[in-house]
Amino acid sequence: MPEKKTGTGSRLDAVVAAAQQGRAQREQGYREQALKLYPWICGRCSREFTRANLQELTVHHRDHNHDNNPADGSNWELLCLYCHDNEHARYLDDPSIAATDSGDSDGQQASHKGLAGLADLLKKKDV
């Protein structure tokens, strides 16, 4: 027997559905543009794509800013699913890449160092 949806649950479902639909529309826009501009080849591994497997070709934003979608495609790169995942893992795993390729033009760095006083605390404990 299916569960009844409460008013809150159905409103939440509607909000989530609207957000997903909006995201799909935004992605469809720049994805379609990128697929028209560039050959259907992964920019990293050179794997070629056809209509049969085109869903495995993704649009990567070079500056990692998904709102930066110039019509000339200068911020886009077509990558296969695997290379795209690898690119984002590399970006997250290596702070030097994130610092130099963040897309932030103001050059501000984080000023807080969460473990700055840890060495001093450990020395006090050992004494």
Residue closest to 32 by CA, chosen among 21, 40, 43, 22: 40
Domains in the chain with CATH codes:
31-102 (3.40.1800)
Q: How far apart are CA 21 and CA 51, in angstroms?
A: 23
pTM above 0.85, yes or no: no
Helix (H/G/I), strand (E/B), else coil: 87: helix
Residue with tokens 């992605």: 27
pLDDT at 41 over 70: yes
Q: Which tokens sit at 83?
A: 């290379």
Separation of alpha carbons 36 and 29, rounded Å: 11
Q: Render pLDDT for 57-78 as a digit per residue (tens, 0 to 9).
A: 999 999 988 889 898 999 999 9
pLDDT beyond 80 at 94: no
Is the pLDDT at 117 greater than 80? The verdict is no
pLDDT surpasses 50 at 103: no
Exposed/middle/buried for residue 75 (C-beta within 10 Å: 0-12, 13-18, 19+): buried
Mean pLDDT of 9-37: 86
